[in-house]
């Protein structure tokens, strides 16, 4: 191993250590004191409930662990957006599980909470997965009600999705394990089956205080909407559980009896591990985003037997396209090549930049994968499309549009891994969040933005200095440097993978060595939903 490999390895393992530290903090939810209070009520935490419900020896992935990270500090913060979402297995069946974290503002809903719940439902809808709701929430966080109440992607959309999923035959099971109030009361009752935990679970449109204020009736919450009321009088709920574990055991029994699904038919053989050591990824991936490296070496450490069959290997070299297997599943890979490459005409092309020929190649390859019913995996390390007169005259916009068209209209499941740069239109062409990947995750080395921090800071600096000069202010080199440093620091915070994950632009920031698990579980989930329409590029300029 050379010295650069060792330095890269040290750098990337420090990033990984930071990821693990951040995750351990997030997993505490509202903190140890609130967890202790939760336990004192005889209740399990959201994470404990999920861990008990899911099969112990099967893999799991967590969606949106960093949702809300750093977003609501003036309100005391909302770790994981106050809700935990995991994909895993219950009695061997792949499911989505959504659990309110009552240690975070009593499980109240922030704007990001609604967005995260909608993302969980979106995954369940796209993949026809059973979804389990573990309800323990005080309802909408009132100080921010104007950002969560009436819009299309706000709280009410969740109940609309409940109805749509029911019509699609997607199993929904809800367990009321704490508060379930106001509009939130509709979620469990719009599910197929609803459970309620005795003495700790309650459902009502208005609690006892509001009832007293509204109509003058004096009644306690248990009589108003507790387990006995809803299981024996109103008939709102279907099962009464004596405690959390009893409720979760009941869910396990219900799920165990769900019938099998009709598979989409994605090809899978016996899984095989990569022949090249996946740990090498830490040393191959450069510590500087400006340094070139060979993406093929990364791919070899992600795919079965390290076998990658390239498509049009000698053409459009700044994009790699080809077939492989990941955990036995056949996949088509589209990856940005970060090496400086030479064309057949002897011209040099910058790594990580999409040229006309590479966009043309990717368009054709995506069409082939749709023809063969092969899921697509995008490995992003892209700075954007090539600019300049030569590219413009050669029709880069037209060729880029064809690639975006192919990505947009692709009907096979798509999975996106942001390895390094994810800038501008390159993010779009390489299946960014706006292009409906079934799952999208980032490595700790990722950066997502319109452009790099250096480029953006220089542009913003020019704008700011011009504005100051118009006001008659003198811009010394010292003032200019201070302005530049301040602008770049702000921009660098925004291109962090954690900034993106906090806003759910990605589903997670992951250890690179977990990439195979995310893709494999993602394709297995997608296999629950047969393709319902044909691939059609529509109108494109050839």
What would the DSSP string read from start to end of 61-96? EEE-TTTTTTT-GGGT--GGGGEEEEEEEETTEEEE
Is residue 10's pLDDT more than 80? yes
Report the pLDDT averaged over residues 253-279. Answer: 97
3-class secondary-structure state, position 103: coil
Residue 393 has pLDDT above 70, yes or no: no
CA 267 – CA 475 distance, rounded (Å): 63
For residues 32-60, average pLDDT: 96
**What tokens appear for 206 in the block?**
């208005």
* CA distances, 414 to each of 245, 266, 411, 494, 500 (Å): 37, 13, 8, 26, 19
Whether pLDDT at 350 is above 80 = no
Give the model's pLDDT for residue 51: 98
- What distances in angstroms separate CA 227 from CA 13, 39, 194, 497, one per listed residue? 50, 20, 11, 43
Query: At residue 394, does pLDDT exceed 80?
Result: no
Please identify which residue in the block is written with the tokens 């996106």: 416
Torsion angle, alpha carbons of 120, 121, 124, 127, to 10: -100
Question: Mean pLDDT over residues 87-92, rounded?
Answer: 98
By DSSP bridging, strand 329-336 and strand 376-382 are parallel
Is 70 exceeded by the pLDDT of residue 35?
yes
**Predicted local confidence at residue 453, as pLDDT:** 67
- For residue 387, pLDDT over 80 is answered with no
Q: For residue 319, how many C-alpha atoms fall within 13 Å in the half-sphere facing its CB?
A: 34
Kindly tell me the burial class for residue 246, based on how many C-beta atoms sit within 10 Å of its own C-beta (0-12, 13-18, 19 or more).
middle
- The DSSP bridge pattern shows strands 309-310 and 319-326 to be antiparallel
Q: Are 407 and 445 in contact (CB under 8 A)?
A: no
CB 371 within 8 A of CB 497: no
Tell me, what's the pLDDT at 463?
Answer: 82
Q: What percent of the chain has pLDDT over 90?
A: 71
Query: Rounded to whole angstroms, how far apart are CA atoms 294 and 284?
Result: 8
In Å, how far are 87, 437, 524 from 521, measured between CA atoms? 8, 14, 5
**Choice among 83-87, 98-102, 385-389 with the minimum mean pLDDT:** 385-389
Residue with tokens 């106050």: 82
Indicate if the pLDDT at residue 92 is higher than 80: yes
Determine contact, residues 266/375, Cβ cutoff 8 Å.
yes
* Model pLDDT for residues 305-324, shown as the tens digit of each residue: 999 999 999 999 999 999 99
> CA 536 to CA 533: how far, in whole Å?
9
Average pLDDT of the residues of the chain: 92
Q: Are the CB atoms for 99 and 136 separated by under 8 Å?
A: yes
> Could you give the CA distance from residue 312 to residue 225 in angstroms, rounded to a whole number?
65
- State the Cα angle at 538 between 267 and 358, rounded to 5°: 65
Task: Write down the pLDDT at residue 3.
Answer: 93
Q: What is the pLDDT of residue 470?
A: 82
**Judging by beta carbons within 10 Å of its beta carbon (0-12, 13-18, 19+), is residue 2 exposed, middle or buried?**
exposed
Q: What angle do CA 76, 78, 80 make, to 5 degrees?
A: 155
Do residues 229 and 202 make contact, with C-beta atoms less than 8 angstroms apart?
no
- What pLDDT sits at residue 189? 86
Residue 541 pLDDT more than 70? no
E strand or H helix at 129: none
pLDDT at 286: 96
Residue with tokens 């009644």: 219
pLDDT, tens only, 484-510: 888 778 878 889 999 999 999 999 999
Cα gap 133→243, rounded to integer Å: 16
Q: What is the dihedral of CA 18, 22, 27, 31, to 10 degrees?
A: 130
Confidence class for position 542, pLDDT limits 50, 70, 90: low
509: phi > 0 → left, psi -120 to 50 → alpha, else beta; which? beta
Q: In whole angstroms, what is the distance from residue 375 CA to residue 373 CA?
A: 7
The mean per-residue pLDDT over the stretch 32-56 comes to 96
Model confidence over 411-455: pLDDT tens digits? Answer: 999 999 999 999 988 999 999 999 999 999 999 999 998 766 677
The encoded tokens of residue 45 equal: 């935490």
CB 327 within 8 A of CB 271: yes
Pick 452 or 481 by higher pLDDT.
481
Instruction: For residue 147, give the DSSP letter.
Output: G
Mean pLDDT of 447-466: 77
What six digits make up the tokens of 125?
A: 């809808």
Structure tokens at 319: 């994009």
Residue percentage of the chain with pLDDT more than 70: 98
Mean pLDDT, residues 328-357 taken together = 86
């Amino acid at each position: 191993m050379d010295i650069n490999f060792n330095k890269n390895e040290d750098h990337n393992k420090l990033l990984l250590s930071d990821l693990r530290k951040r995750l351990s903090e997030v997993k505490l939810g509202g903190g140890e004191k609130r967890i202790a209070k939760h336990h004192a009520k005889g209740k399990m935490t959201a994470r404990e409930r999920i861990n008990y419900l899911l099969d112990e020896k099967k893999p799991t992935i967590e969606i949106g662990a960093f949702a809300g990270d750093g977003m609501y500090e003036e309100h005391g913060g909302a770790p994981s957006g106050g809700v935990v979402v995991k994909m895993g297995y219950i009695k061997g069946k792949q499911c989505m599980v959504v659990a309110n974290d009552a240690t975070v503002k009593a499980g109240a809903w922030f704007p990001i909470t609604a967005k995260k719940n909608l993302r969980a439902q979106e995954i369940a809808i796209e993949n026809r997965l059973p979804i389990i709701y573990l309800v323990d929430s005080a309802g909408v966080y009132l100080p921010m009600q104007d950002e969560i109440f009436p819009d299309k992607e706000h709280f009410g959309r969740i109940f609309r999705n409940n109805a749509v999923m029911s019509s699609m035959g997607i199993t929904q099971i809800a367990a009321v394990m704490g508060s379930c109030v106001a509009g939130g009361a509709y979620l469990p009752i719009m599910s197929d089956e609803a459970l309620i935990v005795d003495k700790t679970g309650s459902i009502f449109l208005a609690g006892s205080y509001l009832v007293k204020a509204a109509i003058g009736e004096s009644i306690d919450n248990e009589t108003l909407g507790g387990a006995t009321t809803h299981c024996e009088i109103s008939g709102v709920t279907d099962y009464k559980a004596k405690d959390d574990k009893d409720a979760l055991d009941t869910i396990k029994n219900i799920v165990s009896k769900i019938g099998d699904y009709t598979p989409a038919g994605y090809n899978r053989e016996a899984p095989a591990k990569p022949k090249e050591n996946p740990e090498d990824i830490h040393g191959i991936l450069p510590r500087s985003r400006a340094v070139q490296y060979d993406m093929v070496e990364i791919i070899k450490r992600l795919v079965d037997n390290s076998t990658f069959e390239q498509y049009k290997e000698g053409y459009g070299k700044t994009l790699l396209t080809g077939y492989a297997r990941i955990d036995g599943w056949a996949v088509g890979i589209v990856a940005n090549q970060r090496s400086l490459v030479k064309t057949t005409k002897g011209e040099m092309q910058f790594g990580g930049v999409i040229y006309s020929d590479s966009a043309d190649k990717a368009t054709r390859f995506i069409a082939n994968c749709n023809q063969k019913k092969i899921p697509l995996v995008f490995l992003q390390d892209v700075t954007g499309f090539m600019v300049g007169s030569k590219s413009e005259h050669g029709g880069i916009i037209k060729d880029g549009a064809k690639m975006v068209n192919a990505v947009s209209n692709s009907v096979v499941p798509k999975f996106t891994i942001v390895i390094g740069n994810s800038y501008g239109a390159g993010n779009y062409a390489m299946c960014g969040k706006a292009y409906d990947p079934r799952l999208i995750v980032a490595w700790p080395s990722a950066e997502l933005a319109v452009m790099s921090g250096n480029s953006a800071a220089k542009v913003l600096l020019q704008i700011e200095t011009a504005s100051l000069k118009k006001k008659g202010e003198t811009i010394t080199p010292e003032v200019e440097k201070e302005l530049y440093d301040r602008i770049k620091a702000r921009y660098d915070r925004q291109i962090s993978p954690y900034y993106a994950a906090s806003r759910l632009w990605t589903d997670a920031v992951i250890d690179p060595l977990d990439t195979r698990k995310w893709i494999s579980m993602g394709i297995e989930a997608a296999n629950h939903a047969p393709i319902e329409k044909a691939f059609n590029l529509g109108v494109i300029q050839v």
